[in-house]
Amino acid sequence: MSKEIAASLRDFTRAGAGGLVIGLPLLFTMEIWFHGSLLPAWKLLLLLGLAYLVVLGYNSVAGFRRERSFAELAIDSISTIGLGIVLAFVALLVLGRIEVGTSLRDAAGKVALEAIPIAFGASVAATQLSGGGGGKSNGEKGGGKGKRSDRQPGAFHRLLVGAGGGLLFALNVAPTDEPLMLGVEAPPPLLLTVVGATLLLTLALVFYADFGGRPVARGDGLLDRPVPETLAAFAVSLAVALLLLWSFGRIDGAGVQAIAGMTVMLAVVASVGAAVARLLISGGKEGGREGGREASG
């Protein structure tokens, strides 16, 4: 077996294993199985399309291989989504959620929903969780120029990846009854407190908690500063939360205050996901060093 093939096998094994690690909680969530059957097919297709865009955005910042044209990026992202679909199908088979009597529509719905977190996990694992060998092989395959990794992700990319992280985290709770209960029962003052606390938490998480990927000044744009970026990420998280609530039929027939409450409560989870995702891809000192290492590898 050539080194190149061995490296590819290692890359895909890591991507698959990482995808299953991230997707495991949702593979064991009853509400996801049910919603796979209940949600209209067009909504499932829409969610899959959004997942593809998020994976594409994430891979464009930190993908399988560093040096790629847009077409190659799009093709690699297809592989990531496909990997998610195949793994979701196999996992659901093994768990007995897809059986001989399961209709094609039912199976497709479950696979479509479960494939989303697995694809996100595969995308993250293929990059952030890469060991030294993987990084080297990536460099070799991509020509080793490391052009992408030398560049700090821009504000738009950080927010796009943040949306992906928010989608992944919020997907875990959106189909359950808890956001509905929390949102409907919370009076407006409490919701405002939750918004404030979330903003403080995510600001501290990304900029002041000194995690490994803590970003430092990355540009001169408005969104390159801590407070504006935190506010923008929260706005994105609200949009992600509302999208998920709508997708899972949570806002059908609900009043404006209930919708606002549910959205804010789910946005707490989405915001933390967005913060973690931004930390993962953030440049900063550590990211810059890592980029340099990969470029030289």
Partner 1 sequence: MRRNVVEWAVLVASVAAILVLVGVLLIAALGESQLADPRVELHTSEARAGALGWIVPATVTNGGGEAAEDVVLEASATVGGQTEISEIAVEFLPAQTAVEIAFAFSARPEGALSVRLVGFRLP
Binding site for partner 1 (CB under 8 A): 2, 4-5, 8-9, 12, 34, 37-38, 40-42, 44-45, 48, 65, 67-69, 72, 75, 78-83, 85-86, 89, 101-109, 111-112, 115, 141-142, 249
CB of 156 to partner 1, least distance (A): 25
CB of 230 to partner 1, least distance (A): 36
The tokens 């009076």 sit on which residue? 187
269 in Cβ contact with 173 (< 8 Å):
yes
Q: Which is nearer to partner 1, 32 or 85 (CB)?
A: 85
Q: Which is nearer to partner 1, 39 or 61 (CB)?
A: 39
DSSP 8-state symbol, 153: P
Rounded to 10°, the helix 3-27/70-94 angle is 50
CB of 126 to partner 1, least distance (A): 12
Q: Which is nearer to partner 1, 120 or 207 (CB)?
A: 120
Q: Which is nearer to partner 1, 43 or 225 (CB)?
A: 43
CB atoms within 10 A of CB 101: 6
Q: Which is nearer to partner 1, 4 or 177 (CB)?
A: 4
CA distance 158 to 223: 10
Supply 161's token pair: 């990846």
CB of 294 to partner 1, least distance (A): 17
CB of 275 to partner 1, least distance (A): 30
Spatial neighbors of 196 by CB under 8 A, at least 6 apart, are none
Q: Which is nearer to partner 1, 5 or 256 (CB)?
A: 5
CA distance 63 to 199: 29
Compute the 3-state secondary structure of the chain and give helix, strand, coil in percent, each to the nearest 5: 75, 0, 25
Spatial neighbors of 231 by CB under 8 A, at least 6 apart, are 199
CB of 5 to partner 1, least distance (A): 5
